Amino acid sequence: MPTRRLTTLERMPAPDLLRRLGVHVTQRGGELRVWSRNASSMELTIFDSKDPSWITAVVPMTKGDGDVWSARSPKLAAGTRYAIRASGPKGKTHDFDPTRVLLDPYARGLARTSTGEWRSYVQDDSFDWGDTQKPKIPLDHTVLYEVHVKGFTRSNPNVPEELRGTYAGLAHPSTIAYLKDLGVTTVQLLPIQQSVSEQRLIKQGLANYWGYNTLNFFTPHASYASREAQFGGTGAVLREFKGMVRQLHEAELEVALDVVYNHTSEEGPGGPTSSLRGLDNASYYRQMADGDYIDVTGCGNTVDFSLPAAQRLVLDSLRYWAKEVQVDAFRFDLAATLGRDANVDFDSRHPLLHAIVHDPQLAGVKMIAEPWDVGMGGWQVGHFPDGFLEWNDGYRDRARDFWLTDIAAARHTGVAAQGIGGFARRLAGSAHVFSQERGPLASVNFITAHDGFTMADLTAYNQKHNLGNGENNRDGTDNNHSFNHGVEGPTRDEDVVASRCKAMRNLLGTLLLSAGVPMLTAGDEYGRSQRGNNNAYCQDSELTWLEWSNREDWQDDLWMVAQQLLRLRRENPALRPVHFARFGETVPSASQMDWYNTEGLSMSESDWNSPTARTLQYLAASTPEFEEFNRILLVVHGLEADVTVTLPEHEGVIGYTLLWDSAEDDLSEAELDHGPGSEVRIAGASMQLFRAEQKPARRAR
């Protein structure tokens, strides 16, 4: 049978009905396009340039194909303040009010009136990027560093006072020098899209410091800009943000944004209506037939991503930040919500998740999922599609348990709670969680994040201390996997301080020597404390700002440990495999792993599982593809009594050189070189990293 030729009409792609939403300016003025399926009428409202409360023009909008409403006006030029008013049907699932002034969901600029109302404005996007390019850090070299824009530099005396706590402060040469000296590669910013505080917090006299309450998906948070930029006219805040990105890129540092698309600041049905609810409540938010919201985020509302228009809103926002603002990576808050279908079930094949990692306009951008939400079936670690990295909370909990709660149990009962096997699986890349195809780099390993105890507080508090949050200590998790080492909170007891410091060194060593992509929370490198507050989302004060002076000596020592570990990670590719190894095969850019017990023999089942045998030797050899061959030996000992290990004998290994010991701040007097089969003393509850020296390759005659 002959092949039928497609007609011209059949060859044509389907029209993009959701194209060019928001305002687009031409030489003849601007056009506004807004999606709403249920509105019955809509109008563009333009305000006076000097008084954003005074209406100067009202332009009726016309509904076209794809439920897109549009209007044109020569007044839609850079700096023009505008809003939308929408009418529509009444009913339990609707919230139309033609007197209400609404923000354009695609607005690239926002301004406030003297009474505190918000207005959209037409943004001036001009910026000179020069020759600056994205750093494109290879994933196996990537080290994420989670930062709050304000809190990072607010107290830094090395930053000019007028720039502290701002985008420009983050881009200051002293800040960049700190990041480069430490050795991280990717600055992951807590939410910087314009956010507001919840009504409850405002009534309490508190503020949402973290910023997980987004007002608009296209505008940078104005209060993080310098005062000069905030009063610098159209585009000044955005230019300061772009300038920060450019400066970081010139220093070969990537910028990642923590983005909150799962819900908006409109809260529950009785919350403030600013945009999506007034434009089409029944479409944008998940609801029951009676109008009650289906809330899988715990934040009052949930955006309905079974809707193509909501999917497109996210994709267009990502494209904007990745292309026009040159952002390198995104971390998706409560990302399971983005993958829920029309039945509110998570689907790893969801069109939005698929589009995020396959959109040609987002090629090369790192995508990181927080792979859970609070709804039914919300924990989805390991189930996101290939192309996503995922926060690995199992790694976090097992690392904390091994070095903290297991040690506490052994002190109190004489026996640790578990053996070393589960810890070893996490150390080697969590192959039981992530598929062979995705590999170890799908795992974002972390010990702490913005949410929870800091690393120092994990070692100093058994309970949370959140009274300052105004909720009678009810907020924040009680499941901290922490151990105070005998004293709750600060102490001058030298033994307790020494135990805590060693625990922090072990936690840092675990994080930075594990297979996967590590994420370090800003301040953990020197032992920052929040005085036991494990939910400091509403604390904008010295409690949450990074401390830059008056540190203890042990804090400076810990910083140097973090710096050293980051250097050792860079220098030893065996620590950062790209792929999982396969038995009997040579897989490029994988690490061949061998495991030994204290006697230098292969691990037995008892060695893996016994709570009394919490010691292993992890020998990892790279399979070179882009770097030189490398082999390391990591010795992990998870009991507080010292132990003697026999270093393993392995083909080709002629010796071991000690690179780092979590029990020792100074190796200047330590014996560094050891032969295979020699005995080495390992201090209680500690780690040692060796480079395995290889027999020189025989030259061909």
Q: How far apart are CA 485 and CA 408, in angstroms?
A: 7
- Asked about 493 being catalytic, the answer comes back as no
According to DSSP, residue 252 is labeled T
Structural contact between residues 275 and 102, judged by C-beta atoms closer than 8 angstroms: yes
Structural contact between residues 337 and 296, judged by C-beta atoms closer than 8 angstroms: yes
Structural contact between residues 43 and 55, judged by C-beta atoms closer than 8 angstroms: no
CB count within 10 Å of CB 671 equals 10
Q: Which amino acid is at 583?
A: F
Q: Whose CA is closest to 185, among 560, 443, 567, 555?
A: 567
Structural contact between residues 254 and 187, judged by C-beta atoms closer than 8 angstroms: yes
CB count within 10 Å of CB 205 equals 8
**Residue 698: CB partners within 8 Å, gap ≥ 6?**
none
Q: Which amino acid is at 547?
A: E
Q: How far apart are CA 659 and CA 677, in angstroms?
A: 18
Strand partners, 25: 30
- Asked about 95 being catalytic, the answer comes back as no
Q: How big is the chain, counted in residues? A: 701
Q: How far apart are CA 16 and CA 315, in angstroms?
A: 14
Per residue, the 3-state secondary structure of 661-685, as one string, reads: ECCCCCCCCCCCEECCCCEEEECCC
Structural contact between residues 66 and 35, judged by C-beta atoms closer than 8 angstroms: yes
Q: Which amino acid is at 644?
A: T
Residue 634's H or E segment, with its range, is: strand 631-637
Identified catalytic residue from 124, 198, 258, 333? 333
Tell me the pairing of strands 653-661 and 686-694: antiparallel
According to DSSP, residue 698 is labeled P
Structural contact between residues 182 and 525, judged by C-beta atoms closer than 8 angstroms: yes
Q: How far apart are CA 46 and CA 49, in angstroms?
A: 9
Identified catalytic residue from 146, 280, 370, 373? 370
Residue 242's H or E segment, with its range, is: helix 236-250
Strand partners, 217: none
Structural contact between residues 694 and 619, judged by C-beta atoms closer than 8 angstroms: no
Per residue, the 3-state secondary structure of 460-514, as one string, reads: CCCCCCCHHHCCCCCCCCCCCCCCCCCCCCCCCCHHHHHHHHHHHHHHHHHHHHC
- Report CA dihedral (680, 604, 446, 563) to the nearest 10 degrees: 20
Secondary structure of residue 631 in the 3-state scheme? strand
Structural contact between residues 634 and 596, judged by C-beta atoms closer than 8 angstroms: no
Strand partners, 504: none
Q: How far apart are CA 487 and CA 496, in angstroms?
A: 8
Q: Which amino acid is at 185?
A: T
Q: Which residues are catalytic?
A: 333, 370
